[in-house]
Amino acid sequence: MKEFASLYAALDLVESGYEIYPLSANTKTPPKGHHGYLEATRDKNTIWDWFKNNPNYNLGLALDHLLVVDVDIHDSAKNGKDSLFELQRQGKTLSPDTYIEKTAGGGLHYFFKYTGDKTRKIDVWPGIDLITDFTVIAPSEINGKPYEPLDGRTLADIKLAPQWLVDELTGQKVNWTSGSAYTTRVKKYTGRLIDELVSGTSSGNRNVWLTKVTGQLFASGADPENVYRLVQMVNDNFVDYPLPENEVTKIYNSILKKEVKRIGRSTVGN
Protein backbone atom coordinates (compact mmCIF):
# COMPACT_ATOMS: atom_id res chain seq x y z
CA MET A 1 0.00 0.00 0.00
CA LYS A 2 1.32 3.44 -0.92
CA GLU A 3 2.25 5.72 1.95
CA PHE A 4 -0.73 7.77 3.17
CA ALA A 5 -3.09 5.85 0.83
CA SER A 6 -5.48 5.27 3.73
CA LEU A 7 -5.38 8.95 4.67
CA TYR A 8 -6.34 10.05 1.16
CA ALA A 9 -9.08 7.42 1.00
CA ALA A 10 -10.34 8.49 4.42
CA LEU A 11 -10.58 12.13 3.36
CA ASP A 12 -12.50 11.13 0.23
CA LEU A 13 -14.90 9.06 2.32
CA VAL A 14 -15.64 11.83 4.81
CA GLU A 15 -16.28 14.22 1.92
CA SER A 16 -19.01 11.76 0.89
CA GLY A 17 -20.50 11.78 4.39
CA TYR A 18 -19.00 8.57 5.83
CA GLU A 19 -17.29 8.14 9.19
CA ILE A 20 -13.94 6.34 9.41
CA TYR A 21 -11.52 5.09 12.06
CA PRO A 22 -7.92 3.79 12.03
CA LEU A 23 -6.71 0.19 12.10
CA SER A 24 -3.18 -0.93 12.87
CA ALA A 25 -1.04 -1.57 9.79
CA ASN A 26 -1.49 -5.07 8.34
CA THR A 27 -4.39 -5.86 10.71
CA LYS A 28 -8.14 -5.53 11.21
CA THR A 29 -7.75 -4.32 14.79
CA PRO A 30 -7.63 -0.74 16.14
CA PRO A 31 -4.29 0.67 17.32
CA LYS A 32 -3.55 0.49 21.03
CA GLY A 33 -5.59 3.12 22.86
CA HIS A 34 -8.19 3.42 20.10
CA HIS A 35 -11.75 2.12 20.31
CA GLY A 36 -12.46 1.18 16.71
CA TYR A 37 -15.74 2.21 15.14
CA LEU A 38 -16.93 3.70 18.45
CA GLU A 39 -14.72 6.72 17.72
CA ALA A 40 -15.36 6.85 13.97
CA THR A 41 -15.48 10.43 12.78
CA ARG A 42 -15.73 12.83 9.85
CA ASP A 43 -13.50 15.40 11.52
CA LYS A 44 -10.60 16.00 9.14
CA ASN A 45 -8.25 17.35 11.82
CA THR A 46 -8.71 14.22 13.91
CA ILE A 47 -8.16 12.03 10.87
CA TRP A 48 -5.00 13.92 9.95
CA ASP A 49 -3.66 13.45 13.48
CA TRP A 50 -4.34 9.71 13.29
CA PHE A 51 -2.51 9.15 10.04
CA LYS A 52 0.31 11.72 9.91
CA ASN A 53 2.59 9.64 12.16
CA ASN A 54 1.17 6.32 10.99
CA PRO A 55 0.97 6.56 7.19
CA ASN A 56 0.52 2.80 6.76
CA TYR A 57 -2.53 2.43 8.98
CA ASN A 58 -5.36 0.37 7.55
CA LEU A 59 -8.80 1.92 7.29
CA GLY A 60 -12.09 1.07 8.97
CA LEU A 61 -15.54 2.28 7.92
CA ALA A 62 -18.53 2.77 10.24
CA LEU A 63 -21.54 1.29 8.46
CA ASP A 64 -24.07 4.07 8.82
CA HIS A 65 -27.18 2.86 6.93
CA LEU A 66 -25.09 0.27 5.15
CA LEU A 67 -25.06 -3.52 5.08
CA VAL A 68 -22.07 -5.63 4.08
CA VAL A 69 -22.53 -9.21 2.92
CA ASP A 70 -19.17 -10.81 3.77
CA VAL A 71 -18.52 -13.81 1.53
CA ASP A 72 -15.61 -15.82 2.93
CA ILE A 73 -13.71 -18.61 1.15
CA HIS A 74 -11.14 -19.54 3.83
CA ASP A 75 -12.83 -22.74 4.96
CA SER A 76 -13.50 -25.35 2.25
CA ALA A 77 -16.27 -26.79 4.44
CA LYS A 78 -17.94 -23.36 4.64
CA ASN A 79 -17.22 -21.73 1.29
CA GLY A 80 -19.28 -18.57 0.96
CA LYS A 81 -19.26 -18.70 -2.82
CA ASP A 82 -20.90 -22.13 -2.70
CA SER A 83 -23.56 -20.63 -0.43
CA LEU A 84 -24.11 -17.81 -2.94
CA PHE A 85 -24.77 -20.35 -5.69
CA GLU A 86 -27.26 -22.16 -3.46
CA LEU A 87 -29.04 -18.89 -2.65
CA GLN A 88 -29.23 -18.08 -6.35
CA ARG A 89 -30.79 -21.49 -6.97
CA GLN A 90 -33.50 -20.48 -4.48
CA GLY A 91 -34.10 -17.20 -6.29
CA LYS A 92 -32.13 -15.08 -3.80
CA THR A 93 -29.62 -12.98 -5.72
CA LEU A 94 -27.25 -10.14 -4.86
CA SER A 95 -27.02 -7.29 -7.34
CA PRO A 96 -23.77 -7.59 -9.32
CA ASP A 97 -23.94 -3.83 -9.97
CA THR A 98 -23.59 -2.69 -6.36
CA TYR A 99 -20.27 -1.66 -4.80
CA ILE A 100 -18.21 -4.82 -4.21
CA GLU A 101 -14.72 -5.18 -2.76
CA LYS A 102 -12.42 -8.15 -3.10
CA THR A 103 -11.02 -8.79 0.38
CA ALA A 104 -7.41 -9.49 1.34
CA GLY A 105 -8.39 -13.14 1.86
CA GLY A 106 -9.85 -13.49 -1.64
CA GLY A 107 -13.47 -13.25 -0.53
CA LEU A 108 -16.01 -10.55 -1.39
CA HIS A 109 -17.74 -7.71 0.43
CA TYR A 110 -21.08 -6.73 -1.14
CA PHE A 111 -22.23 -3.29 0.07
CA PHE A 112 -25.94 -2.37 0.22
CA LYS A 113 -28.06 0.47 1.58
CA TYR A 114 -29.90 -0.61 4.72
CA THR A 115 -31.67 1.40 7.44
CA GLY A 116 -32.17 -1.28 10.10
CA ASP A 117 -30.45 -1.82 13.43
CA LYS A 118 -26.71 -2.35 13.73
CA THR A 119 -25.89 -6.02 14.05
CA ARG A 120 -23.38 -8.68 13.09
CA LYS A 121 -24.72 -12.11 12.16
CA ILE A 122 -22.05 -14.75 11.60
CA ASP A 123 -22.49 -17.74 9.30
CA VAL A 124 -26.05 -16.87 8.39
CA TRP A 125 -25.29 -19.23 5.55
CA PRO A 126 -22.04 -21.26 5.48
CA GLY A 127 -19.22 -18.77 4.87
CA ILE A 128 -21.50 -15.72 4.69
CA ASP A 129 -21.79 -13.06 7.43
CA LEU A 130 -24.17 -10.09 7.49
CA ILE A 131 -22.60 -6.94 8.95
CA THR A 132 -24.22 -3.57 9.65
CA ASP A 133 -21.87 -2.03 12.24
CA PHE A 134 -18.32 -1.68 10.84
CA THR A 135 -15.88 -3.16 8.33
CA VAL A 136 -12.37 -2.94 6.93
CA ILE A 137 -12.31 -1.09 3.61
CA ALA A 138 -9.94 -0.42 0.71
CA PRO A 139 -7.08 0.38 0.41
CA SER A 140 -6.32 -1.62 3.56
CA GLU A 141 -3.85 -4.51 3.21
CA ILE A 142 -3.26 -7.75 5.08
CA ASN A 143 0.08 -9.47 4.41
CA GLY A 144 0.56 -7.44 1.25
CA LYS A 145 -2.87 -8.37 -0.15
CA PRO A 146 -5.21 -5.40 -0.57
CA TYR A 147 -8.92 -4.83 -0.23
CA GLU A 148 -9.87 -3.41 -3.62
CA PRO A 149 -13.05 -2.37 -5.44
CA LEU A 150 -14.26 -4.42 -8.38
CA ASP A 151 -14.54 -2.74 -11.78
CA GLY A 152 -13.44 0.68 -10.51
CA ARG A 153 -16.66 1.21 -8.56
CA THR A 154 -17.15 3.60 -5.64
CA LEU A 155 -19.52 3.79 -2.69
CA ALA A 156 -21.73 5.97 -4.90
CA ASP A 157 -22.65 2.74 -6.73
CA ILE A 158 -24.24 1.10 -3.69
CA LYS A 159 -27.70 -0.36 -4.37
CA LEU A 160 -30.60 -0.98 -1.99
CA ALA A 161 -30.48 -4.24 -0.07
CA PRO A 162 -32.84 -6.82 -1.62
CA GLN A 163 -35.96 -7.49 0.42
CA TRP A 164 -35.12 -11.14 1.07
CA LEU A 165 -31.87 -10.01 2.69
CA VAL A 166 -33.66 -7.43 4.83
CA ASP A 167 -36.12 -10.13 5.91
CA GLU A 168 -33.23 -12.36 6.93
CA LEU A 169 -31.77 -9.61 9.13
CA THR A 170 -35.09 -8.70 10.72
CA GLY A 171 -36.10 -12.29 11.35
CA GLN A 172 -39.00 -12.35 8.87
CA LYS A 173 -38.04 -15.62 7.25
CA VAL A 174 -39.88 -17.42 4.49
CA ASN A 175 -39.92 -21.19 4.10
CA TRP A 176 -38.34 -21.23 0.64
CA THR A 177 -38.14 -25.02 0.46
CA SER A 178 -41.86 -25.61 0.82
CA GLY A 179 -42.55 -22.50 -1.24
CA SER A 180 -40.51 -23.83 -4.13
CA ALA A 181 -42.35 -27.14 -4.00
CA TYR A 182 -45.68 -25.32 -4.06
CA THR A 183 -44.84 -23.12 -7.05
CA THR A 184 -43.45 -26.07 -8.97
CA ARG A 185 -46.80 -27.84 -8.53
CA VAL A 186 -49.24 -25.02 -9.36
CA LYS A 187 -47.34 -22.35 -11.29
CA LYS A 188 -49.00 -21.36 -14.56
CA TYR A 189 -48.65 -18.43 -16.96
CA THR A 190 -49.65 -15.80 -14.40
CA GLY A 191 -47.30 -17.22 -11.78
CA ARG A 192 -44.37 -17.21 -14.17
CA LEU A 193 -45.21 -13.65 -15.21
CA ILE A 194 -45.34 -12.46 -11.58
CA ASP A 195 -41.96 -14.08 -10.92
CA GLU A 196 -40.45 -12.28 -13.90
CA LEU A 197 -41.92 -8.90 -12.89
CA VAL A 198 -40.59 -9.14 -9.34
CA SER A 199 -37.16 -10.35 -10.53
CA GLY A 200 -36.83 -7.06 -12.42
CA THR A 201 -33.84 -6.05 -14.50
CA SER A 202 -30.75 -3.83 -14.46
CA SER A 203 -29.81 -0.75 -16.48
CA GLY A 204 -28.31 -2.71 -19.35
CA ASN A 205 -31.56 -3.91 -20.93
CA ARG A 206 -34.32 -1.88 -19.31
CA ASN A 207 -36.18 -0.87 -22.51
CA VAL A 208 -36.12 -4.34 -24.04
CA TRP A 209 -37.19 -6.01 -20.80
CA LEU A 210 -40.02 -3.55 -20.06
CA THR A 211 -41.29 -3.88 -23.64
CA LYS A 212 -41.38 -7.65 -23.26
CA VAL A 213 -43.22 -7.68 -19.92
CA THR A 214 -45.70 -5.05 -21.15
CA GLY A 215 -46.59 -7.39 -24.00
CA GLN A 216 -46.89 -10.27 -21.53
CA LEU A 217 -49.25 -8.24 -19.34
CA PHE A 218 -51.49 -7.52 -22.32
CA ALA A 219 -51.37 -11.21 -23.23
CA SER A 220 -52.62 -12.09 -19.73
CA GLY A 221 -55.94 -10.44 -20.61
CA ALA A 222 -55.67 -7.65 -18.02
CA ASP A 223 -57.52 -4.40 -18.66
CA PRO A 224 -55.31 -1.87 -20.50
CA GLU A 225 -55.69 0.70 -17.70
CA ASN A 226 -54.40 -1.85 -15.20
CA VAL A 227 -51.55 -2.82 -17.52
CA TYR A 228 -50.46 0.82 -17.66
CA ARG A 229 -50.55 1.20 -13.86
CA LEU A 230 -48.73 -2.08 -13.34
CA VAL A 231 -46.01 -1.24 -15.87
CA GLN A 232 -45.38 2.04 -14.02
CA MET A 233 -45.22 0.21 -10.67
CA VAL A 234 -42.84 -2.43 -12.03
CA ASN A 235 -40.58 0.27 -13.47
CA ASP A 236 -40.51 2.18 -10.17
CA ASN A 237 -39.88 -0.84 -7.95
CA PHE A 238 -38.14 -3.58 -9.91
CA VAL A 239 -36.03 -1.84 -12.55
CA ASP A 240 -32.53 -0.93 -11.42
CA TYR A 241 -32.40 2.79 -12.33
CA PRO A 242 -36.05 3.21 -13.41
CA LEU A 243 -36.78 4.62 -16.86
CA PRO A 244 -38.25 8.15 -17.10
CA GLU A 245 -42.06 8.18 -17.06
CA ASN A 246 -42.29 9.43 -20.65
CA GLU A 247 -40.16 6.49 -21.78
CA VAL A 248 -42.45 4.04 -19.97
CA THR A 249 -45.49 5.64 -21.61
CA LYS A 250 -43.81 5.42 -25.00
CA ILE A 251 -43.20 1.69 -24.54
CA TYR A 252 -46.77 1.17 -23.33
CA ASN A 253 -48.29 3.07 -26.25
CA SER A 254 -46.18 1.15 -28.73
CA ILE A 255 -47.48 -2.19 -27.44
CA LEU A 256 -50.99 -0.77 -27.06
CA LYS A 257 -51.06 0.25 -30.72
CA LYS A 258 -50.29 -3.32 -31.75
CA GLU A 259 -52.97 -4.65 -29.41
CA VAL A 260 -55.57 -2.20 -30.71
CA LYS A 261 -54.79 -3.25 -34.25
CA ARG A 262 -55.02 -6.90 -33.26
CA ILE A 263 -58.28 -6.88 -31.30
CA GLY A 264 -59.76 -3.42 -31.91
CA ARG A 265 -59.44 -2.33 -28.29
CA SER A 266 -58.96 1.32 -27.21
CA THR A 267 -57.65 2.67 -23.91
CA VAL A 268 -55.56 5.29 -22.05
CA GLY A 269 -51.88 6.00 -21.54
CA ASN A 270 -51.28 9.26 -23.38
Residue 145's region, left for phi above 0, alpha for psi from -120 to 50, else beta, is beta
pLDDT in tens, 57-91: 999 999 989 999 999 987 777 889 999 999 999 99
Amino acid at 222: A
Residue 269 CB partners (closer than 8 Å, separation 6+) = 224, 228, 249, 252, 253, 256
pTM reported for the whole predicted model: 0.63
CA 111 to chain centre: 6
pLDDT in tens, 172-201: 554 444 444 444 445 566 777 787 787 777
pLDDT of residue 174: 46
pLDDT in tens, 109-162: 999 999 888 888 988 999 999 999 999 999 999 999 999 999 889 999 999 999
186-210 burial: b if 16+ Cβ within 10 Å, else e: eeeeeeebeebbeebbeeeebeebb
Q: Measure the CA dihedral 260/262/265/266, to 10°.
A: 0
